[in-house]
């Protein structure tokens, strides 16, 4: 591909990256021989005036900036109803990629930060704010020079991100005032830079957040949490630097470091600020709904994401096109996100909660008691600037609350893993910040001491009693008896009779062979949940998988009791735990003359993936089969883009499971991979991470097992082939079943 006229001639060398709205190419100016980058509009958006206006506004604003640490614009031109922006080529990688591949020292972190501050000081002198700074908007050259991209984006740009290759969404970096829709002030960029500096030093976010929740819910959590001291986790960060970062991250802009100049001076002098909890902000009210524009925005396009063409970039074509160029100076680039951070450190939530409470309590100065929470007051909706386009946002009315006191309560509720039908988390209700009152009570009196002594004696008595009961249970049920005998509600014994049970005649399980290959698991589309990315590449070895979920009839070939609620020979078996399934797989393997895969003692289970017996699929195998072995474009449900064609879910199930193979199969002949009952897989649940050593088999340990596919009680979102849910391995419920696989190597 080439662009030519009398003053401009470009030959495209390769595609750098592709977003929902734009494509960025690496190109060569044939007149000067210099490399450059060209940003063009995605073909399907060419007729959209708002997309073109957004790109033009970015280019024109950025063209005013000429600084060695800001990526400069060369030219803007139009041809065939499309707008093209050309800017200088930066031979480097994003700061997020640098951080993913190496640790950055304190001195180097300060050096990068100082270069960013010099660029911001220059831009602010011209009245230009960035407002969307993050690790991917900072490019680092091999010489260590910083180049900033992304000036000129609208305030709501973070709302239009349809999936990032980095595990850290842009919403983490934006200042509270931008989140609330305000226009921004100079120290708006200071907040974003504070987040970046903390992450350079620690490779973790400055706050404790629950990654299982939505990005908006996680952002709201950051308004409730103090900035964690890196020393608590063994990170060697000078205390003076921590106080600077903490001051950068104040929710109240009036308490935040005021300007790039002040921050440069503080870093050079190693100034130590008096510690103030970052949550000290009386005016900020946390929104209870997703931020929405205050005026309706015409939808740009239907929500379906059109897949990228499979063909690769061809050699430059000698096509000549006459262009009319406009000479200007700079445009921000959406640089390729090369590799997200791979060393994401997770911290025990109980430990974090203790730390959060400690930090808040130590900094309280007032002694007045906290007033009860007032009734809620209307939440401010964000303001959207002119020429701003965003994706469709649900029209949600803000909740009304009434202000009573300038202090607020902290909600620290952390969601637990599901043990009822999997469903998406609801946004947290509005909560307000407060400073806990200082304990002004007098010293304990004699009566208090006597009462405390009595309580200690009572506690010792209860402890000894509990130990005796535990010892009795262990001796009676685990030493003297092989298994306990329980009575049902009607008083009848549930222990099975000693005579041989009557089983269904044994039959082989119908399987489909799946060829091995290298594939990618996960999803970066707009509808993806946070635990579906980053994408991970994995090698799948050949295996076969059962055409349907294991039916109740197949269960009764091994077991004499059918545990299912929805009784029918052809319905999938349900009400079976992970451990029940492991026992079934081994027993069925023996019946069919195969080598069992599982070896277990109690709850400790190991799997021999080289054995040829029945076993549960790994999460990677399950997703590979559900996608019908497709690597690039795949239907969001297994076999269709329409949920009801391939699966039973809350919209068509009549609140029960159904006979297997009643609906359409996917492209390799598998039924009910989406819907009917959720399916146990082998893996312990954990967020996808580049630190995971065994992508195929998953983590070595955990507390919850993954279930896949959605079921008759869930909505269509949970039926997607990349959706992940999890429950305790001992869970038995009427919406979880399984299917089996066998290794073919």
**How are beta strands 598-601 and 604-607 bridged, if at all?**
antiparallel
Q: How far apart are CA 163 and CA 528, in angstroms?
A: 8
The mean pLDDT of 665-689, rounded to a whole number, is: 95
Strand partners, 474: none
Q: How far apart are CA 693 and CA 98, in angstroms?
A: 21
At the fourth CATH level, the homologous superfamily of domain 107-113+125-148+157-291+338-438 is Transferase(Phosphotransferase) domain 1 (1.10.510.10)
pLDDT band per the 50, 70, 90 thresholds, residue 209? confident
The mean pLDDT of 350-375, rounded to a whole number, is: 40
Q: What is the dihedral of CA 305, 306, 310, 314, to 10 degrees?
A: -110
> Which pLDDT does position 546 carry in this prediction?
98
The tokens describing 209, both together, are: 């957040």
Q: How far apart are CA 136 and CA 54, in angstroms?
A: 20
Higher pLDDT pick, 602 / 276: 276
Q: How far apart are CA 602 and CA 631, in angstroms?
A: 38
Q: Has residue 681 got a pLDDT over 90?
A: yes
> Which pLDDT does position 473 carry in this prediction?
53
Q: How far apart are CA 724 and CA 708, in angstroms?
A: 6
- pLDDT tens digits, residue range 160-176? 665 545 567 888 899 99
Nearest to 543 by CA among 636, 627, 616: 616
The mean pLDDT of 145-166, rounded to a whole number, is: 74
* Most confident stretch, 42-51, 263-272, 478-487: 263-272
Least confident of 85-99, 415-429, 526-540, 666-680: 415-429
Q: Tell me which of 3.20.20.30, 3.30.70.20, 3.40.50.670, 3.30.200.20 is the CATH number of domain 2-90+297-327.
A: 3.30.200.20
The answer to whether the pTM exceeds 0.85 is no
Q: Has residue 291 got a pLDDT over 60?
A: no
- pLDDT tens digits, residue range 95-128? 988 988 889 999 999 999 999 999 999 999 999 9
Q: How far apart are CA 370 and CA 438, in angstroms?
A: 10
The tokens describing 225, both together, are: 């949490």
Q: How far apart are CA 381 and CA 375, in angstroms?
A: 18
The mean pLDDT of 561-581, rounded to a whole number, is: 97
Return phi, psi of residue 61, to 5°.
Answer: -65, -45
- Going through 533-574 in order, the beta strands assigned E by DSSP cover 536-540, 543-546
Instruction: Quote the distance between the C-alpha of residue 68 and its chain's center.
Output: 35
Angle made by CA atoms 728, 731, 734, in degrees to the nearest 5: 135
CA dist list (Å): 384 to 50, 187, 220, 465, 512: 14, 20, 20, 64, 53
The mean pLDDT of 313-340, rounded to a whole number, is: 36
So where are the chain's domains?
Answer: 2-90+297-327, 107-113+125-148+157-291+338-438, 448-494, 511-743
The tokens describing 564, both together, are: 């299912």
CB 154 within 8 A of CB 183: no
Task: Give the three-state DSSP class for 590.
Answer: helix
Class of domain 511-743: alpha beta
Q: How far apart are CA 241 and CA 198, in angstroms?
A: 9
Q: Has residue 467 got a pLDDT over 90?
A: no
């Amino acid at each position: 591909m080439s662009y030519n006229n009398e003053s401009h001639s470009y030959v495209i060398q390769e595609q750098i990256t592709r977003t929902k709205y734009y494509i960025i190419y690496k190109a060569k100016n044939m007149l000067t021989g210099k490399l450059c980058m060209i940003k063009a509009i995605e073909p399907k958006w060419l007729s959209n005036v708002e997309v073109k206006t957004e790109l033009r506004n970015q280019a024109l604003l950025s063209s005013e900036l000429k600084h060695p640490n800001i990526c400069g614009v060369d030219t803007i031109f139009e041809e065939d109803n499309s707008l093209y922006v050309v800017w200088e080529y930066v031979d480097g990688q994003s700061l997020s990629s640098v951080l993913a591949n190496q640790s950055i020292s304190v001195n180097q972190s300060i050096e990068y930060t100082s270069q960013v501050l010099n660029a911001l000081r220059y831009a602010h002198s011209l009245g230009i704010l960035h407002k969307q700074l993050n690790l991917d908007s900072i490019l680092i050259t091999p010489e260590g020079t910083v180049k900033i991209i992304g000036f000129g984006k609208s305030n709501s740009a973070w709302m239009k991100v349809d999936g990032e290759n980095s595990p850290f969404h842009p919403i983490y970096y934006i200042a509270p005032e931008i989140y609330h829709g305000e226009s921004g002030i100079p120290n708006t960029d200071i907040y974003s830079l504070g987040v970046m500096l903390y992450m350079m030093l620690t490779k973790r976010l400055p706050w404790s957040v629950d990654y299982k929740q939505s990005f908006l819910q996680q952002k709201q959590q950051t308004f409730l949490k103090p900035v964690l001291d890196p020393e608590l986790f063994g990170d060697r960060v000078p205390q003076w630097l921590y106080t600077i970062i903490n001051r950068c991250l104040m929710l109240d802009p009036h308490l935040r470091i005021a300007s790039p100049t002040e921050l440069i001076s503080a870093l050079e002098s190693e100034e130590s600020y008096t510690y103030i909890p970052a949550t000290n902000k009386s005016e900020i009210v946390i929104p209870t709904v997703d931020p929405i524009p205050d005026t309706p925005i015409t939808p740009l396009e239907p929500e379906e994401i059109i897949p990228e063409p499979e063909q690769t970039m061809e050699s430059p074509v000698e096509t000549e096109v006459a262009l009319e160029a406009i000479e200007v100076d700079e445009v921000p680039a959406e640089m390729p996100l090369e590799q997200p951070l791979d060393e994401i450190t997770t911290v025990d939530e109980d430990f974090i909660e203790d730390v959060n409470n400690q930090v808040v309590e130590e900094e309280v100065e007032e002694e007045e008691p906290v007033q009860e929470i007032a009734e809620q007051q209307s939440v401010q909706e964000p303001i959207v600037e002119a020429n701003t386009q965003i994706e469709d946002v649900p029209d949600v009315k803000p909740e009304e609350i009434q202000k009573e006191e300038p202090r607020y309560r902290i909600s620290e509720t952390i969601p637990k893993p599901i043990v009822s039908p999997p469903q998406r988390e609801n946004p947290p209700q509005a909560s307000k910040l407060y400073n806990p009152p200082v304990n002004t009570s007098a010293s304990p009196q004699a009566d208090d001491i006597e009462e405390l002594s009595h309580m200690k004696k009572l506690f010792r008595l209860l402890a000894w009693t509990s130990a005796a009961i535990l010892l009795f249970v262990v001796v009676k049920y685990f030493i003297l008896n092989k298994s306990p005998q329980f009575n049902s509600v009607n008083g009848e014994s549930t222990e099975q009779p000693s005579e041989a049970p009557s089983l269904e005649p044994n039959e082989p399980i119908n399987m489909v062979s799946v060829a091995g290959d290298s594939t990618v698991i996960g999803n970066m589309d707009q509808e993806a949940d946070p635990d579906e990315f980053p994408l991970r590449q994995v090698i799948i070895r050949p295996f076969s998988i059962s055409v349907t979920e294991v039916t109740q009839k197949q269960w009764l070939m091994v077991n004499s009791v059918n545990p299912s609620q929805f009784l029918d020979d052809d319905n999938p078996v349900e009400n079976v735990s992970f451990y029940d399934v492991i026992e079934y797989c081994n027993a069925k393997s023996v019946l069919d003359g195969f080598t069992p895969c599982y070896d277990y003692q109690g709850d400790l289970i190991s799997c021999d993936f080289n054995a040829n017996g029945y076993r549960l699929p790994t999460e990677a195998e399950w997703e590979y089969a559900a996608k019908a072995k497709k690597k690039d474009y795949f239907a969001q449900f297994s076999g269709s883009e329409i949920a009801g064609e391939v699966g039973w879910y809350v919209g068509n199930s009549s609140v029960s499971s159904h006979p297997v193979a009643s609906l359409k199969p996917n492209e390799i002949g598998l039924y009910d991979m989406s819907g009917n009952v959720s399916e146990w897989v082998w893996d312990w649940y954990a967020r996808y991470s580049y630190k995971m050593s065994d992508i195929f088999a998953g983590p070595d340990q955990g507390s919850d097992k993954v279930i896949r596919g959605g079921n008759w009680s869930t909505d269509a979102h949970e039926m997607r082939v990349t959706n992940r849910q999890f429950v305790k391995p001992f869970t038995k419920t009427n919406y979880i079943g399984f299917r089996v696989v066998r290794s073919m190597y």
